Structures are given as structure tokens and as C-alpha cells.
Structure 1
């Protein structure tokens, strides 16, 4: 399965991908794209809820609900029950159809993108899902599995989200509109927004909910990936936003700051990030960089760069064939702030890295890893292997691989959330517990 997917992906990267890039470039000319993890994001368990891992299966439009203790699937729900209705609504809008097809061929490697990110309500009743190809966010009742509200984007693609620590605000990046929307998830309506650069991407709340750490990644779908053409990638900013007013407090060009401190030739596009427990230091993955940057948020300067291994295959892969410019895409930190968990996307490995020394332990044969997130108790790091439809479970303390969980088609984003106890027995697609899989 993994070999077939790799071959299929390679063909798409070298064939249809170039056609899609030309289509998207044409759309930008004719229809401009600019339109008018942390622990705090994990809802706590309550008397009526239990902690579970939600895995978004991007290509088949499903979400697997995983027991984080015995690693079995409690259920699988479909999050695109309105697919035909949404497709019919596109028919009269040729621009939207154009973006839909371009997203399929470029960003989705020939597949529609139906699940990007997801969070749950604090009472475990609802799941909120961003659906890139359908350019919206929906609230889904976890008991009935029906859509209870839908918020469309102003642009043509939805992306990464974030949930405030108190569960009252949901952020969603509007990929083609250069903004992030603030949604009241209880009512399913927009209540605010803030400006971003090109292709708004990652969002994280501070632990007190007062600040938002946001980054835009620029035009990752263009073929202009060589350093000499970097300026064509658009505005790529790392921003700190006041969560109360939605005002941008700071806007930093990380590439420019790196160059000022002697680190030349690095992209300013910040991908996934992790914050130290005191939130004074950020660990930032960058486009095309096989590693991460340790960044002092108080003094706005880089401290160190962690260079992680590059596989022979990745070393021989032109930048133009990197998956959405992602050398690495997935970063988490254990609650103690002593270790980081890394998804080495283009080199097909996961890694646990010592925060003090940057020494690492590699876990090979992880096919196209694309996200890393912690269990609610911080014992495990979950890494999605999107190339072979599995989730790799790593133990921070022992630095051992615990197991691999089979999930749906092309898992990417994963989030810890909660679900009501009485909802679990009614979930479709459950698996029976396997004692052999328990750690």
C-alpha cells in the first residue's frame, strides 16, 4: 500500500502537479487571491467526557476517533454528508470550480481535501472541522453525526485552526483571503478576523488565551522554489495577535531576522511550531529546512538551528518536488519542555529531539509524516504517516515506538479532544480492543 502510494505521489508531483500549478497561477492573474499545540488547546476531561484522539483522514473525508490508552478505533465518522449539495452549489461559480480542481491536483496530490483540522467542544458534544476543498468549517453533532452549522470562507480554501483555552473561540485560516476568521463555535458564526500574509497557515493560542501565534507560508503551490525566485512566494509573516482585539501586536519576517544573525538563505515561511512551557521560546519549522529554529520571542532573535538528517532520496529530490515546500511538517513538545517530537516529512522518519543538546533518536520507515501531537497526559507523541494510512505512537520517556494504528485515507492533522461517554457506544466503525496493542 505504501509503495503504491509513493509511486502514485511521485507521478503526481512530476506530472499533474505542474499542470495544476499553471492553472493556479492563471487563476491568480485573473482572480487575485487577496480578498476584501499546544496544551491549552486540549479540552480537559469532565465527569461525562473522555479524552480521545481525533485523526483527520484528508482524502476520504472521515475522522477516526482513537482510544489513546489501548490505541483502538472507537469509531469513524463521515464529515462530508453534504458533499453533493456543496458540489451542486459550485456549478454556477466557475471561479470556485477552478479552485476546487486546482486544490485537487496541486495541494491534494490528485485527491480532494475534505478534512484539514478539527477540534471538539469542551462538553464533548460537537466536532468542528475545516474542509479545504469545500472552503468552509462545519460543526458536527457527535451523537447524530449531522452538520449543525456551516461557516463558508471568504476565499476558496480553509486550512489550519485553533481553539481558545476556554473553548469560546475557534480560529480558521482562510488560505486565499489573507486573513484568519474568528468563529463563535457555540453559535456557528464569525465574530472577528485578523489580517495575515499570503496563505495563512498555523495558529496557536497562548496558555492564558490572550495571544495568538500565527504564521503565513506564502505560495507553496508555485514552481518558483529556488532561492533566486523567493520573492515570488509572497508575504510570509510570523505574527503575534491580541486575542481580545484581533490586533496584530508583532509581525516578523523570520527569514530576514535569520539573515541579520548570520543564517543566510532560509525561507521566512514558518510551518508548524511548538512553544516552550513559559512561552518565551518558539521552535519553528521552515519551508525547505530539514530541522527547526530555536527562536527567542522576547528578544526576537534566533538562538540555535537544529539540523536533522536528510535521507538520500530527499537529498536528491529537487525543491520543486517537495510536498508543498515541506521538508518537515509536524512539531510537538512534551509538557516538561525537555523533548521535541518531529515529523521528517521528505525523509520519511519521525524523531525525538533533546531540547538542550539537540541530540535525536530517529524512527525510520514513517511514510510521509505530516503532523505531530501529544496525548492529553503528555506521555505519547502521535505522528501521522499520511503515506501508509497509519499513526505512529512514540513514548517520550522511553524513546521507543509503542505501536502503529491503522486509520483512513491520508491522515494529516490530529488533535486531542473529548467525547461524551454515552456517545461512544453509538459510534459507527468501531474496532474491538486488542490486548496485544496495549503498551
Structure 2
């Protein structure tokens, strides 16, 4: 199953990742008015400020399915909470209020027992027990914690921070800590931090536990980062589209020029957000293998590899669709319509009861 969070619609699309058939959707904000009514004045001010800074309301930020395929976990961005739903009955099982004003990227532990959510305005990650919806741990991060990624062997959890994206590029030094935080996922203790000059956007962690490929704020491309030495060893600059070349960096969405990465074997799939293309690169040479170009303002904004490794799924946020790219040919082979402003995509499997309930 490919599950897609439709950020502005507040829904989650369930897609058969082999046939590309949309099996159904789940409303992740049935309690929206209740949540808005329950906000105190400070929370409502924070809600409005986050909406204004983003330029839109992001109700679904990140998503995950339980290993048994019965439960959906959602980080509900501007509502600053995390919730769990029984997919078959669509019943909300629990709700956890995230510290601060925005719940950001999340990750589920390999055994499904923990849901880790970035508390964006509080400079911390919060670890939630998926059975009870209660807090079990938290750890400090950089400024505006963003992505949470397990290393391929699950020995490390990495949190990437992007810094204060509300400040212009000219004030980059004032954006706070643009930091990669390495955490022991057994003890939730920070084991190492890495400081970067620019915010860390989507990143890929390689099986050697030594290499990270990352997109950075304002960079039209990506970097290769040595995790042992703690330094950038290569920077790949990719071409600007005519539209992107005319843009001011302060007009990039949340400071990101390129936002979305996935890989399969020796190939990297990278979303060129402001350029309206997806590029496939060879690994480790990082040479360009091909481009898939989209209509202007499609806003490719996330990428995920199919479970069989054959395809790269790219969210086209302003086109309300998922572009399916064949890794072997670097060609688009399908387009899947989804909800309003798809962004985060995750893999999982659904129980038979959940599939039947989706209709």
C-alpha cells in the first residue's frame, strides 16, 4: 500500500502500490471544528500565524500505518496534534497534543510501538506510545525540527532541522540551529549532532551508515555528506527551469528549492520542486540519467520508492496527483489522482478488513 497525506484536504489516500489503483480515502480531520473551538486564545493565535507563514492550512503533515495494517497514525500539522484511527471503522482511537503550534514530520518505529513527531516550534521530538497515545520520551533537536528517518539498520534515528523558515535568506545566520541530530532509538538519548549552514530538507541514509544524501534549503540540487567526518564531500547543482531562474530565493516554498528524495539500488530520484521536474541520478557517481518534466506550477514535493523497488512515486502538490516514474527508464508511466495538495507518502500494508471498509 502507498498512503498519501493530502495536506490541505485533511484526507489520506490509500493506493495499491502495484496496480496504482486508489482504493479509498479517510477523513483525518472529522473533528476539525471541535479542535478549533477548543483552542485557547494563544493556541488560536499560533494556529493563524502558522497558516500565514505556510500560505495554506496543512492538516495532514505525516502518516504511518501500524505493522498489522489496522491503524493509521497522523501528524496533523496546523492542529498541533497526533491522532490514531482504526482504518476499518474510521474511529479515532486517541489524540495527543504536540507541544507548541505545529506537528511536523513523523516516523514509526520498526516494531510499530512508537510514533515519533517533530514539535516544530518547541525544538524537540516527542515519542508517543502507539497503543495508548501517551508520551514516553522526548529529545532536543535543532531549530524547527523537520524530518525523522531511521538508518537502514534501525540503529539510529536522525532528526533534521530546517531553521526558522520565516526569515529571509539574507538573515540565514539568525535562523537558528540547522542541525542533524542522531539519537539512540532504544534510550532516546542524543548521541551526536551535526551543524550545517542551511536547513536540511529530505535526506537519504545509506546502508553503509556513513553516507547521507540531502537536499538543503535554497539549493537547486543535493549534497553528499560524510556522517563519520561530519562534512559535505560533494555538491550537485542541478539546472533551473525558466520559471525557477526568475524566482527570488525568498519565494521558494518554505525555503526549499528541491524537496523530495528516494532511491532504489544505484539510482536516486529527486523532486525539483521549484523547477517542476523530477531527476534520476546514478549512485555513487551522481550523474544525471534523465528528467521527467511537468506542467508549470505542478510543485513536485515528495518522493517514495515502491515496495518492489521499480518505481518512484512523486507528489505533485499543486496538480493533486502522484507521478509514477520507472527507475529503469527514467520515464513517467502513470499519474494517480489524489486529494488536495498531496505531499507526504509512506508505504505500509492494510488488513483485509480495512481494505473492505475502504470500498
Deviations 1:234-263 (A, max 9, x none): 1211111111222211111122xxxxxxxx
Structure 2 match to 1:166:
111
Of 245, 255, 262, the residue aligned with 2:187 is 245
Structure 1 match to 2:235:
305
1:104 aligns with 2:51: yes
Structure 2 match to 1:235:
177
Offset, 1:231: 1.5
Of 166, 183, 190, the residue aligned with 2:128 is 183
Secondary structure of 1:424's aligned partner: helix
Of 343, 350, 354, the residue aligned with 2:282 is 354
Structure 2 match to 1:273:
203
Deviations 1:161-186 (A, max 9, x none): 01122222211000111100011112
Offset, 1:359: 2.0
Q: Which has the higher contact order (CA 8 A, sep 6+)?
A: 1
Structure 1 match to 2:318:
387
1:122 aligns with 2:63: no
Name segments (4+ residues, structure 1) moved above 6 Å. none
Partners of 1:140 and 1:148 within 8 A in 2:
yes
Partners of 1:343 and 1:350 within 8 A in 2:
yes
Offset, 1:301: 2.4
In 2, Cα distance between equivalents of 1:329 and 1:198: 18
What do you get for the CA RMSD once the two structures are aligned?
A: 1.2
The normalised TM-score by structure 2 is 0.96
In 2, Cα distance between equivalents of 1:172 and 1:84: 23
Partners of 1:217 and 1:271 within 8 A in 2:
yes
In 1, Cα distance between equivalents of 2:17 and 2:6: 17
Partners of 2:291 and 2:330 within 8 A in 1:
no
Offset, 1:196: 0.8
The structure where strand makes up a greater share of residues is 2
Deviations 1:390-436 (A, max 9, x none): 000011122221111011000010101110123212215xxxxxxxx
1:56 aligns with 2:5: yes
Secondary structure of 1:115's aligned partner: coil
The structure where helix makes up a greater share of residues is 1
Of 146, 157, 164, the residue aligned with 1:219 is 164
In 2, Cα distance between equivalents of 1:377 and 1:344: 24
**Number of aligned residue pairs:** 356
Of 372, 391, 402, the residue aligned with 2:303 is 372
Partners of 2:292 and 2:330 within 8 A in 1:
no
Of 252, 259, 263, the residue aligned with 1:322 is 252
Partners of 2:50 and 2:101 within 8 A in 1:
no
Please say which structure displays the higher CA radius of gyration: 1
In 2, Cα distance between equivalents of 1:399 and 1:329: 18
Secondary structure of 2:174's aligned partner: helix
Structure 2 match to 1:414:
345
